[in-house]
Amino acid sequence: MNIQLAYGHRQISLDVPKKRVLSVVKARKTDQQLSQINSVEEALRCPKNSPTLKELVYQKTAQNAVIVVNDITRPTPYQEILPPILDELRAAGIQEKHITLLIATGIHRDQTEEENKMVFGEEICSKYRIINHNCDHDLASVGMLSSGMELLINKHAVEADLLITTGLVGLHYFAGYSGGRKSILPGIASRSAIEASHKMMSDTRACLGNYQNNPVSDLMVEAAEIAGVDFIVNVVTGSHNEILHASAGHVYHAWIDAVRFAEQMSVVTIPEKADIVIASCGGYPKDINMYQAQKALDSASLGVKDGGTIILLAECPEGLGEDTFEEWVMTATCTEDIEKRFFEKFELGGHKAYAICRTLRKAEIYLHSSLQDNIVKDLFMHPVHDLQDLISVLLKQYDPEASVIIMPEAPKIALRVNGKE
């Protein structure tokens, strides 16, 4: 069987004996009929377990509003999402000068004015105040989390008469799914709260596609409720960033509605786990660096047998991609060093190194990339230059009935074994 796999800006062709291929796993084709609501306007007219946005303005006698928005690292179609929200707020009597867009940067850098124009459009940028969140400054307390930690979030959100959050719902490697509650924690929370929530990824329930009894997700839901989010608008998008489904209303109920739509697309059932999983990130920009490419490993790990092999295709033209991640990798002599550091001296960025170690506990990893061999070895992976030869060697090493799963766009998929949760 010939298979084409994306690698950077090009394709790599591989031949795998058809009788060995258990499954070529792809996201399900999107059927517009799956969604009864595929525009933001429709979602605003039919909010989930909530009054409409206009009704909320009247009920709260709101004079101002803060809308929490994603930064540029999460491609969200804001030029379709924001205008109907802003129209509704203005129609309810809130003036443009009293509406603020608060960018949920988490621990990321500030978004530039030029990037704001790219994301939101020049007209919105010219009419509304836009503020970057800073996880170390301008914070206010909204109460205590059940974990015992005080929840500090951006003061502008705390002071708002009406707090609206927006976002994109898709798979997330330890929160289960993005969107919804993530606008508050980590989006506009303090550094200490963000670090505490990321550290919880060590729990086995904090994994790709799991949103039930996931301690990270549960804490994020709690944070959003404590923060007093009044209304959310979340969307699920397709491969061209088009809106496939929109949901609005209550902070949990609207989010879970979007999650269940995303789940129909992204969770794929396989008959059993395989000895070998061949995974591509889906090409550029998903394999721009190892910090991003790591997401494919979480997907692949769900389909590989314990003690099996993952072959990852990720060009990584920009290297490892994040300073703390790189420092953790380069200074570790073994995976145990990284795991010990994660629990004893946690740092954001280092959590990605821990995530790789989590996969390495389960399977060997071979990496085809543009990284130097010594850097690949520092990642505790095996560098591979001839993929076709490696596949032949591995098939001979395994049992004659060795099975292979191929994942052309691994980060888009969460695998489930048939008959198992």
Active-site positions read 108, 172
Is the Cβ–Cβ distance between 233 and 43 less than 8 Å?
Answer: yes
Burial class of 12 by CB neighbour count within 10 A (0 to 12, 13 to 18, 19+):
middle
Q: In Å, how far are 211, 269, 281, 312, 359 from 294, measured between CA atoms?
A: 20, 22, 9, 9, 10
Cα–Cα–Cα angle for 13, 19, 22, nearest 5°?
80
Helix pair 323-331, 335-344: axis angle to 10 deg: 130
State which amino acid sits at residue 363: A
Is the Cβ–Cβ distance between 17 and 395 less than 8 Å?
Answer: yes
Q: In Å, how far are 111, 127, 161, 208 from 155, measured between CA atoms?
A: 18, 22, 12, 31
Q: Is the dihedral of CA 282, 265, 24, 304 positive or negative?
A: positive
Residue 225: name the closest of 283, 265, 183 by CA.
183
Residue 155: name the closest of 227, 72, 53 by CA.
227
Is the Cβ–Cβ distance between 8 and 285 less than 8 Å?
Answer: no
What are the φ/ψ torsions at residue 243 (nearest 5 degrees)?
A: -75, 120
Q: In Å, how far are 5, 29, 396 from 21, measured between CA atoms?
A: 15, 21, 15
CA distance 20 to 349: 38
79-85, long-range: CB < 8 A, 24+ apart: 79/120, 79/121, 79/124, 80/40, 80/243, 81/40, 81/166, 81/233, 81/235, 81/243, 82/120, 82/124, 82/166, 83/124, 84/40, 84/41, 84/44, 85/40, 85/44, 85/53, 85/164, 85/166, 85/233
Residue 234: name the closest of 167, 291, 136, 332 by CA.
167
